[in-house]
Structure 1
Amino acid sequence: MTSLRQGRAATLMVIAALLVSTVGDEVAMVALALRGADRTGLTSVVSAQMLAGLVPGIALGGPIGRIVDRFRPDAVLGVTLALECLVAAAAAAVADGAVLLIATMLLLGALGAVAQTCVMALVPQLFPASAAQLRVNSLMESVRNAGYIVGPLLVGLLTARGGTGLALAADAGTFAFALLAVPVISRWLIVTARERARTADVCDAVAAGADDAVASGSQPPGKTEGGLRVGLALLWAGAQRRATLATIVVTVAATSVVNVLLPFFADDIPGGTAVYGVLLATWSVGLVLGPFTLRGRLGRRPTSVVSVGAATVVGLSYLVTGAYPVVPLMLAAFLCGGMANAVQNVALRTYVMADCPADVRGRVGAAYGATLQSSVAVGFALAGLAPAEGARWGILAGGGVAFLAGLIGWLRTRAVAPSPVPAKDVSVTAGQGSERGTP
């Protein structure tokens, strides 16, 4: 009973820290962008800031993965949050020029990528069962998305009262608060390690098989071997993994094109920018609500199929928006699209975690982040080729490509999905997931 209470306390603390740190991430991004626009008056500086926050997760995936695999992820997370706190506090005091503003965004982007990789590695350690991972990932997704709503609102209030300096100082405080969760996580990791040690005797046969595998030369990579290359190789291993991730890469790139074009589409819709703001808020509401749909029958389906199906719905929502720019229909499409977006994130993250070996979680998590961020960057770059006056056609094209790619991918993942595990064998495979990505 004590162990159960500790687990619940750890979960609540982690969720609270995640909410606060997500608010902090949003506060930093919006406040730094506002300061860049105010102090320099150059759109190129703000654009460079946005790219600086995105690039580290792609370029530094290898080192980040090796660091998380080599050291305890809870310790790495603690150091990362402390550094984020210091960077935000320093930015509040001295980040005025273009170079410092871009450098600050670069540092926070790199530290944020490390923190996300730590979370990817910690969740399977704290919650070994795949069903528990799905529940926790769903809850974290809703909490994270709520932070995306609260963050910009908080920036507006703080900036109105004390400028961007006050907002960045509050941002430093959010990371300091999130640090309080690290000791709780560390204690719970010790508890789970002890519980696994008590049941180690039932795994003698498996351990013997593992020894034979090591003796035959098929041992896993070391804690620092290969970096991003190893992470990508494991991430994309197996026909089902390749079918799932290839679909997600295409749909994310296509919908990222749409995200860039939507502001230009605002002038063509009834109500203009006011309705555009309502649409964005509706999508955010969908992001918060979406994970709760995984508590029913949807949550019992293979996570690979669910993630691809959700990506298909996202593409369809944009396709409907471009084809029929009628306010009630667009609101319904954006609500469904936001919910599907959140479901896609939860299902895909759980799918990647489900059968990832413990000693390579950092590298696989970094490869996962780099893959998705690369897809977003490709979409942003492609959007720059579309003319502003043709925004509606670009949205139709992006939504159509995402919908068709998702539909084809959904059929493909259903075809390669493994057969359900018989009821009598469920206890043997608990915690491994019903859909292994490796052959």
Structure 2
Amino acid sequence: MTSVRLSKGAALLAVVALLISTVGDEVALVALALRGADRTGLTSVVSAQMLAGLVPGIALGGPIGRIVDRFRLDVVLGVTLVLECLIAATAAAFADGAVLLIATMLFLGALGAVAQTCVMALVPQLFPASEAQLRVNGVMESTRNAGYIVGPLLVGLLTAHGGTGLALAVDAGTFAFALLAVPVITHWLTARPVQLSPAPDPAPPPAAEVDETATETETTGQEPHEAAKGGMRVGLSLLWTGPQRRAALATIVVTVAATSVVNVLMPFFAHEIPGGTASYGTLLATWSVGLVVGPFVLRSRLGDRPTAVVAVGAASIIGLSYLVTAAYLVLWVMLAACLCGGMANAVQNVALRTHVMADCPPGVRGRVGAAYGATLQSSVAIGFALAGLVPAAWARWGILVGGAVALLTGSLGWLLTRALTASAPTDGSVSVPTLQVPEEKAS
């Protein structure tokens, strides 16, 4: 009974903390962008801020993964939240010039990447069963997406009454509040009985191998120091292990790049929408509603379908939704497409994250999580760069092409992933090969 109470209490607090910290991430992003536009008047500064928030997750994936694998997850998460709090508070008072604004986004982007990697490593540590991971990832995805809705609204309210300084001060408070989850996570990690640890398909090691090292791993959630050798290369090699995993990830990389092009072009497409920018805002809000609702639909409809197949299928639906949005300029059709697209977007995130977590060895979860984040962020960056080649007047055609590419790639990837899954060993809702750490590459 103690373990059940710990699970429910820690899960609830972790979700609340995630919501609060996600709101903080969005408050920081929007408030710093507004301050950059207000204090400098240069679009190049705001653009540089956005890139500064994205680059650390790509460039620092190796060091971030090693840090998460080497040290206790609760300690790393706690230190990260403290630093985010201090940086946000400092920015509220001192970040005025372009250099300081960009530097602030750079530091917050790096710390945000660390926090996300910690979460990816924590979920399988605290919820070993794949079904439980799917449920928890679904709740966390809905919570995170709710934060994306609340954050900008909160910034607008705070900025109207106290400027961006007040918004950033409240942002610091959100990170401080999220620290309340750290002691509970620490207690859960140290108090969790050994029998709640993962029970993967491979046979357990001989009794002679279960010594103090195994005990340390169970209580801290980490492998010994030597296990943290290697960085992004190890994470990427494990992330892309197996034909099914490669097929799924390759499909996601292409579809994310294609839809990232669409994301950049959508504001230029706004004047062609019936109702103009007001309707455009409604479309964005509808997509956000789909992001929140999607994981709950996944929980009730997934059944025993393999998560890799679900993730790739959702990618094709996202492409279809953008294609319909640009092809049929009828508001109710566009709203329906955005709702479905948002739901598919959330389902893709949950299913893919669960698929990556399912068979990841405990000692390399940080590096695999960092490699996963860097892979997706690189795809987004490629899409942003490609969008810069499309003339603004061709925005609608660019959206049509991007949606079509995502739909076609997702459909072909779905067929391939489904065929590979049918020939792979199953493990409930997850069908993936068992990962082995490449010792020769980990030095």
* TM-score, length of structure 1 as denominator length: 0.92
Amino acid in the other structure paired with 1:62: G
List runs of 5+ in structure 2 lacking aligned partners.
210-222, 437-443
Tell me the distance in 2 between the aligned counterparts of 1:343 and 1:157: 31
Summarize the alignment of residues 6-17 of structure 1 with structure 2, pairs less than 5 Å apart.
6-17=6-17
Identity, in percent, stands at 75
Residue deviations 1:183-238, cap 9 Å, x none?
A: 101111123254447x99x9995213996xxxxxxx99943322000000000010
- Check 1:363–1:330 CA distance in 2 against 1; reply closer, same or farther (3 A cut): same
The answer to whether the 8 Å contact 1:286/1:339 transfers is yes
Q: Which residue of 2 aligns with 1:436?
A: 433
Residue deviations 1:218-269, cap 9 Å, x none?
A: x999433220000000000100010000000000000000000000000111
- 1:385 matches 2:389: yes
Q: Which residue of 2 aligns with 1:305?
A: 309
Summarize the alignment of residues 345-424 of structure 1 with structure 2, pairs less than 5 Å apart.
345-418=349-422
Q: For this pair of structures, how many residues does the alignment match?
A: 423
The answer to whether the 8 Å contact 2:307/2:430 transfers is no
The answer to whether the 8 Å contact 1:418/1:435 transfers is no
Amino acid in the other structure paired with 1:117: T
| Counterpart secondary structure, 1:301 | coil
- Check 1:196–1:328 CA distance in 2 against 1; reply closer, same or farther (3 A cut): closer
The answer to whether the 8 Å contact 2:62/2:232 transfers is yes
Q: Which residue of 2 aligns with 1:206?
A: 204
Amino acid in the other structure paired with 2:205: A
Tell me the distance in 2 between the aligned counterparts of 1:195 and 1:340: 36
Amino acid in the other structure paired with 1:128: P
Q: Which residue of 2 aligns with 1:426?
A: none
Residue deviations 1:49-101, cap 9 Å, x none?
A: 00000000000000000000000111100000000000000000100000000
Q: Which residue of 2 aligns with 1:214?
A: none
- Check 1:76–1:390 CA distance in 2 against 1; reply closer, same or farther (3 A cut): same
Residue deviations 1:303-323, cap 9 Å, x none?
A: 000000000000000011111
The answer to whether the 8 Å contact 1:18/1:143 transfers is yes
Q: Which residue of 2 aligns with 1:130?
A: 130
Residue deviations 1:385-410, cap 9 Å, x none?
A: 00000001000000000000000000
Q: Which residue of 1 aligns with 2:98?
A: 98
| Counterpart secondary structure, 2:96 | coil
Could you tell me how far 1:421 is from its partner in structure 2? 6.3
Tell me the distance in 1 between the aligned counterparts of 2:201 and 2:328: 58
Q: Which residue of 2 aligns with 1:237?
A: 241
| Counterpart secondary structure, 1:300 | coil
Amino acid in the other structure paired with 1:98: A
- Check 1:208–1:380 CA distance in 2 against 1; reply closer, same or farther (3 A cut): same
Q: Which residue of 2 aligns with 1:279?
A: 283
Residue deviations 1:348-380, cap 9 Å, x none?
A: 000000000000000000000000000000000
* TM-score, length of structure 2 as denominator length: 0.92
- Check 1:319–1:180 CA distance in 2 against 1; reply closer, same or farther (3 A cut): same
The answer to whether the 8 Å contact 1:310/1:341 transfers is yes
Q: Which residue of 2 aligns with 1:41?
A: 41
The answer to whether the 8 Å contact 1:57/1:110 transfers is yes
The answer to whether the 8 Å contact 1:241/1:437 transfers is no
Tell me the distance in 1 between the aligned counterparts of 2:405 and 2:202: 50
Tell me the distance in 1 between the aligned counterparts of 2:238 and 2:386: 28
Could you tell me how far 1:438 is from its partner in structure 2? 4.3
Tell me the distance in 1 between the aligned counterparts of 2:347 and 2:207: 37
- 1:75 matches 2:79: no
Q: Which residue of 2 aligns with 1:163?
A: 163
Amino acid in the other structure paired with 2:286: T
Tell me the distance in 2 between the aligned counterparts of 1:238 and 1:33: 41
The answer to whether the 8 Å contact 2:291/2:346 transfers is yes
| Counterpart secondary structure, 2:360 | coil
- 1:31 matches 2:31: yes
Match of 2:271 among 267, 274, 278: 267
List runs of 5+ in structure 1 lacking aligned partners.
212-218, 423-428
Tell me the distance in 2 between the aligned counterparts of 1:220 and 1:184: 23
Tell me the distance in 1 between the aligned counterparts of 2:401 and 2:354: 30
| Counterpart secondary structure, 1:417 | helix
Amino acid in the other structure paired with 1:21: S
Tell me the distance in 2 between the aligned counterparts of 1:355 and 1:229: 18
The answer to whether the 8 Å contact 1:354/1:436 transfers is no
- 1:251 matches 2:255: yes
Could you tell me how far 1:47 is from its partner in structure 2? 0.3
Could you tell me how far 1:297 is from its partner in structure 2? 3.3
The answer to whether the 8 Å contact 2:425/2:433 transfers is no
| Counterpart secondary structure, 2:228 | coil
- Check 1:316–1:4 CA distance in 2 against 1; reply closer, same or farther (3 A cut): same
Tell me the distance in 2 between the aligned counterparts of 1:334 and 1:52: 28
Amino acid in the other structure paired with 2:374: A
The answer to whether the 8 Å contact 1:37/1:43 transfers is yes
What is the RMSD computed on CA atoms of the aligned residues? 2.2
Q: Which residue of 1 aligns with 2:176?
A: 176
| Counterpart secondary structure, 1:207 | coil
Residue deviations 1:153-198, cap 9 Å, x none?
A: 000110011000000000000000000100101111123254447x
- Check 1:203–1:267 CA distance in 2 against 1; reply closer, same or farther (3 A cut): closer
Tell me the distance in 2 between the aligned counterparts of 1:210 and 1:62: 33
